[in-house]
Amino acid sequence: MDFASFFSKNLPYLLAGISVGGQYALIAIGYTMVYGILRLINFAHGDIFMVAGLLMIYSTTVFPLWVSIPLTIVVTVILGMMVEKVAYKPLRSAPRMSVMISAIGVSYLLQNLALYVTGGLAKPYPAIPGISATVTIGPATTKWVTIITPFLTLLLVVLLMQLINHTKIGMAMRAVANDFETSRLMGIQVDAVISMTFIIGSFLAAVGSLLYFSNYPSVVPTSGAMPGLKAFVAAVFGGIGSIPGAVIGAFIIGISENIIKGAGWTTFSDAFTFALLIVVLLVKPTGLFGEGAKDKV
């Protein structure tokens, strides 16, 4: 099979992969930033993403789009901050395992809450004009969201990098990620930095959910679990703590899993992600762009 025919055959999957990759990237940034600062796998992050999807569904039944989109984003950000304040902050000096269990508990709570609110019914996701419309590129028919996602993702990442590299709060974030205790001693408001991290993470998850669910007919309470885990894998793959790493990792995972689906191996598209995770952890635990761990005996 020559390249051209391979390309045209796989173009729909490639496009879908790039799009999903961008959406994973937006979630993965939340994981990687939180891990960088708190050394915590925020298991609830995927569920916050799912809640953002439900918020959008419920708010569009009441408000017009130009109200419900910002409303969804704001409420998601508040939720993300609240989760940190209620479930992680009290455990700051507890062993890492306790915090992780707390994260799993929050995930369980959010899913059950969603189950209760939706009554277990799949809720159809509203069409968002402009991004839900279909478009044809060569042999592939897809939605506009597929085209928009990678560009929007890259734009947001560039803005985020500017924030981290050129503002005072960004500098504080880098300092806290580097050395939590010393930063505290140097007078950095560690709690404010952590809140900021959760705000950014939740904001990006909310934007990601707008894009992601536009591609799917409906949202169910477990909708966030798998994308969440995959985004986390992307973060590990790119080198946990590194934002560009997470973005590149997310695109690679998004594209690979769609190519695998295209090849008729759908059963293994999720398994592939985890296999990749295990290989990375064993061969290069610091990921593509991660820094070496500094463990003391």
CA atoms within 13 A on the CB side of 5: 2
The minimum distance between CB 271 and other proteins, in angstroms, equals 4
- Residue (12 or 46) nearer to other proteins, CB: 46
Query: Rule CB under 8 A: is residue 270 a binding residue for other proteins?
Result: yes
| Tokens (6 digits) for 270 | 């999720």
Query: Rule CB under 8 A: is residue 120 a binding residue for other proteins?
Result: yes
- Residue (218 or 269) nearer to other proteins, CB: 269
What is the C-alpha to C-alpha distance for residues 237 and 226, in angstroms, rounded to an integer? 16
What is the C-alpha to C-alpha distance for residues 233 and 287, in angstroms, rounded to an integer? 10
Residues in the interface with other proteins (CB under 8 A) total: 47
Which H/E stretch holds residue 142?
A: strand 140-143
Query: Rule CB under 8 A: is residue 87 a binding residue for other proteins?
Result: yes
- DSSP alpha helices (H): ranges in 3-95? 3-38, 45-60, 65-83
The minimum distance between CB 65 and other proteins, in angstroms, equals 29
Comparing C-alpha atoms, which of 281, 201, 223, 274 is closest to residue 26? 201
Q: Which of 51, 247, 250, 277 binds other proteins (CB under 8 A)?
A: 277
The minimum distance between CB 195 and other proteins, in angstroms, equals 18
Which H/E stretch holds residue 53?
A: helix 45-60
- Residue (31 or 203) nearer to other proteins, CB: 31
- Residue (150 or 221) nearer to other proteins, CB: 221
Query: Rule CB under 8 A: is residue 288 a binding residue for other proteins?
Result: no
Which H/E stretch holds residue 143?
A: strand 140-143
Query: Rule CB under 8 A: is residue 109 a binding residue for other proteins?
Result: yes
φ, ψ at 135 (rounded to 5°): -145, 150
What is the C-alpha to C-alpha distance for residues 297 and 295, in angstroms, rounded to an integer? 7
Query: Rule CB under 8 A: is residue 171 a binding residue for other proteins?
Result: no
What is the C-alpha to C-alpha distance for residues 125 and 129, in angstroms, rounded to an integer? 12
Q: Within 10 A of 166 (CB to CB), how many other CB atoms are there?
A: 9
The minimum distance between CB 248 and other proteins, in angstroms, equals 19
Q: Which of 71, 74, 171, 281 binds other proteins (CB under 8 A)?
A: 281
- Is there a contact between 58 and 71 (Cβ–Cβ < 8 Å)? no
- Which part of the chain contacts other proteins (CB under 8 A), choosing from 2-10, 58-66, 132-140, 268-276? 268-276
Binding site for other proteins (CB under 8 A): 39-41, 86-87, 90-91, 94, 96-98, 100-102, 104-109, 111-113, 115-117, 119-120, 222, 225, 229, 232-233, 236, 267-268, 270-271, 273-275, 277-278, 281-282, 285, 297
